[in-house]
């Protein structure tokens, strides 16, 4: 059977992750802690994974994580804008509490995960539009790399879409899975079957993070 093995990995931590601020398409860099996470990930993948191809979202937080891993593996990094986080329009840069206070009706639509609703603001995507964009990008990359081990560096929202696609869950089903920073998620793609889930949220490389210097 012709298949593409996929590692789908969220970027390292940013200051806005800690603050609970929506990043969307805003280009927020990794924090020092996020860089430590990326370094630990790179060490683990260099020792354990036979990766052939690395592709990253073009947003800095994902691309820096990918470059750190690529440096350890001696591979180049290709960029794919289709792996970007969902665009949240005017929600970007705000916390949910701030959105709820300023735009309560929109906040409720977001909380209910209404598939056809999009936040106010230029470029904002509905869940349906976002899912279509992510599916199109990942399918194309998987089809181009049949028989290879493909590492995708991306964002929490993208990983949520991929998990739902691989498990047959709908856009409004409650999330019970983790989307941790630099967690390693394993998928398999075949031309006939699409995505299937192999393993999810492997954070073994972060288990002794307490040994890192973190002020």
CATH code for the domain in which residue 137 is found: 3.40.50.1240
Partners of 10 in the β-ladder: 154
95 belongs to a structural domain: no
Q: Tell me the pLDDT tens digit for each residue of 126-178.
A: 999 999 999 999 999 999 999 999 999 999 999 999 999 999 999 999 999 99
The CA distance from 192 to 16, in Å, is 39
- Residues 160 and 130 sit within 8 Å (Cβ to Cβ): no
12 belongs to a structural domain: yes
112 belongs to a structural domain: no
Number of domains in the chain: 1
Averaged pLDDT, 70-97: 97
Residue 85 among the catalytic residues: yes
Which residues are annotated as part of the binding site? 10-17, 61, 111-112
114 belongs to a structural domain: no
- Residues 92 and 54 sit within 8 Å (Cβ to Cβ): no
Q: What is the pLDDT of residue 1?
A: 66
Averaged pLDDT, 74-94: 97
State yes or no: pLDDT of 6 exceeds 60.
yes
148 belongs to a structural domain: yes
61 belongs to a structural domain: yes
With cut-offs at 50, 70 and 90, classify the pLDDT of residue 7.
Answer: very high
Could you list the residue range(s) of the whole structural domain that residue 30 is in?
A: 4-87+125-211
With cut-offs at 50, 70 and 90, classify the pLDDT of residue 210.
Answer: low
Full-prediction pTM beyond 0.85? Answer: yes
Which residues are annotated as part of the binding site for substrate? 10-17, 61, 111-112
160 belongs to a structural domain: yes
Catalytic entry in 25, 85, 125, 205: 85
Q: Tell me the pLDDT tens digit for each residue of 11-56.
A: 999 999 999 999 999 999 999 999 999 999 999 999 987 999 999 9
190 belongs to a structural domain: yes
Residue 132 among the catalytic residues: no
Q: List the strands of the sheet with 53-56, edge to edge.
A: 78-79, 53-56, 149-154, 4-10, 184-190, 194-202
């Amino acid at each position: 059977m012709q298949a593409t093995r996929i590692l789908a990995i969220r970027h390292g931590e940013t200051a806005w992750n800690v603050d609970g601020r929506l990043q969307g398409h805003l280009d927020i860099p990794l924090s020092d802690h996020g860089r430590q996470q990326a370094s630990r990930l790179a060490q683990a993948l260099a020792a354990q994974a036979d990766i052939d191809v690395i592709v990253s979202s073009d947003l800095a937080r994902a691309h820096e994580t990918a470059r750190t891993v690529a440096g350890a593996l001696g591979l180049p990094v290709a960029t794919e804008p289709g792996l970007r986080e969902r665009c949240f329009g005017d929600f970007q840069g705000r916390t949910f509490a701030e959105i709820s206070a300023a735009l309560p009706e929109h906040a409720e639509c977001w909380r209910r995960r209404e598939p056809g609703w999009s936040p106010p603001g230029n470029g904002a995507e509905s869940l349906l539009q976002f899912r279509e964009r992510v599916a199109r990008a990942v399918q194309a990359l998987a089809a181009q790399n049949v028989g290879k081990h493909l590492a995708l560096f991306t964002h929490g929202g993208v990983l949520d879409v991929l998990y739902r696609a691989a498990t047959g869950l709908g856009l409004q089903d409650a999330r019970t899975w983790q989307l941790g920073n630099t967690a390693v998620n394993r998928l398999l793609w075949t031309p006939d079957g699409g995505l299937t889930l192999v393993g999810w949220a492997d954070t073994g490389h972060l288990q002794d993070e307490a040994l890192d210097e973190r002020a």
